Amino acid sequence: MLGQLTIGDLGRATETKVETIRYYERIGLLPIPARTAGNYRSYDDWHLGRLSFIRRARNLGFSLEQVRDLLGLADQRDRSCEAVDAIARGHLADIDRKIADLTALRRELSSIIGQCGCGTIAECRIIEALAPHP
Amino acid sequence: MLGQLTIGDLGRATETKVETIRYYERIGLLPIPARTAGNYRSYDDWHLGRLSFIRRARNLGFSLEQVRDLLGLADQRDRSCEAVDAIARGHLADIDRKIADLTALRRELSSIIGQCGCGTIAECRIIEALAPHP
DNA sequence: CTTGACCCTATAGTGACTACAGGGTGCATA
DNA sequence: TATGCACCCTGTAGTCACTATAGGGTCAAG
């Protein structure tokens, strides 16, 4: 399977919308492919690999900027992977912070909802919790 | 404290940037205030209450659209608060989904990071996990 | 009378896409 | 050969919830 791929093929192979692929090209994340006589983008397996990498990293929640850095590092095969490790650990710390924030939020919202006796709005505990009542 | 407030006063009182207040006005979330002779916005305690409500709801993670709905409901004092409850419970479900997603992500990323022996990029497990290797 | 803190409008930028509008290409079928 | 249809192209604007900037006006203190 070393054939040429259209943008639609690439999209199906990586579960990426065609517009997203063109967007990645526009921001310089995915290299510019060759064109057919009819001006269609023509991709090969190397492009497929690149896009797969990008999508896997995105699915793990890395930002496009982090993906850009990871791609740059992935190409320097004999460098130490410290920098890669640092990006990944930084991202893990971000995720931990988000989970902690959401968990605190969940606790608060859940306690507010628990107090709602479901009468009229005038006596609604949820509205009361949001309205200023000092 | 029934005085008139400038937009800066309002911002300080609610920890909201001045630009954000103007943005809320522009999208019709915060009612248009009176103006002074010098064309400054002039707010009163009612505006302060509205903005406090908005900020509390935002801090609990409600979207601006949800806040808009909650504000509309808050004004109908003798309606049943079922709709309020539904919005809040829907949001709680969103939060639960996000926490679950992030937790799964965290587990996966953490296991990838755990495998990194920190040698060169060529043998880096993190890059390997991202690169296509079938 | 000047300084500086505040205010005004209008517009554009962020991230990561997504959705048109208005066309061109390529291939199978009638 | 025509025609239909799925696909491709570019360019632009929209999403969410702000944030930032440019280029000005207002107001009170010193």
* Residues B103, B78: Cα–Cα separation, whole Å: 41
For A56, the token pair is 């896997």
Please say whether the structural domain A1-79 has been given the CATH code 1.10.600.10.
no
What pLDDT band is residue A51 in, cutting at 50, 70 and 90? very high
- The nucleotide lying nearest A23 (C-alpha to C1') is C17
Q: Which residue of B has its CA nearest to A134?
A: B49
Q: Alpha-carbon torsion B74, B79, B81, B84, what sign?
A: negative
Q: Do B118 and A77 touch (CB under 8 A)?
A: no
Provide the CB-side half-sphere exposure for A112 (13 A, CA). Answer: 25
Provide mean pLDDT across the span B127-131: 89
pLDDT above 90: residue A132: no
Domain boundaries, chain A: 1-79, 81-134
- The nucleotide lying nearest B12 (C-alpha to C1') is C6
Nearest beta carbon to residue A76 from set B121, B126, B131: B121
Set of chain A residues whose Cβ sits within 8 Å of the Cβ of B97? none
Q: Do A122 and B78 touch (CB under 8 A)?
A: yes
CA dihedral B10, B25, A98, A25 (to 10 degrees): -140
DSSP category for residue A40:
-
The mean pLDDT of chain A is: 91
Q: Which helix (H) or strand (E) holds B126?
A: helix B125-130
3-state SS assignment for residue B11: helix
pLDDT for residue B1? 44
- Specify the pairing of strand B34-35 against strand B41-42: antiparallel
pLDDT tens-digit series, residues B1-42? 456 899 999 999 999 999 999 999 999 999 999 999 999 999
Give the minimum alpha-carbon distance from A8 to chain B in angstroms, rounded to a whole number: 19
pLDDT above 50: residue A86: yes
Q: Do A103 and B99 touch (CB under 8 A)?
A: yes
pLDDT for residue B78? 85
Residue A125, burial from CB neighbour count under 10 angstroms (0-12, 13-18, 19+)? buried
Provide mean pLDDT across the span A17-44: 95
Mutant choice from B81, B92, B108 vs A, greatest count of A C-beta within 10 A = B81
Pair A52, A14: CB distance under 8 Å = yes
* Residues B66, B83: Cα–Cα separation, whole Å: 11
Angle at A98 between CA A93 and CA A103, to 5 degrees: 125
- Cβ–Cβ contacts within 10 Å for residue A5, how many? 19
CA nearest A20: which of A46, A59, A75? A59
pLDDT above 50: residue A25: yes
- The nucleotide lying nearest A40 (C-alpha to C1') is D8
Give the minimum alpha-carbon distance from B11 to chain A in angstroms, rounded to a whole number: 15
Please tell me the CATH code under which domain B1-61 is placed: 1.10.1660.10
CA dihedral A91, A94, A98, A100 (to 10 degrees): 120
Among A40-44, A67-71, A115-119, A121-125, the minimum mean pLDDT is found in A115-119
pLDDT above 90: residue A21: yes
> Which phi and psi angles does A42 have, rounded to 5°?
-125, 110
* Residues A85, A70: Cα–Cα separation, whole Å: 10
Checking ipTM against 0.90, whether it exceeds it is no
Length B15 CA → D25 C1' (Å) = 26
Q: Which residue is nearest to nucleotide D25 (CA to C1')?
A: B38
* Residues B47, B67: Cα–Cα separation, whole Å: 15
pLDDT above 70: residue A134: no
Q: Do A106 and B96 touch (CB under 8 A)?
A: yes
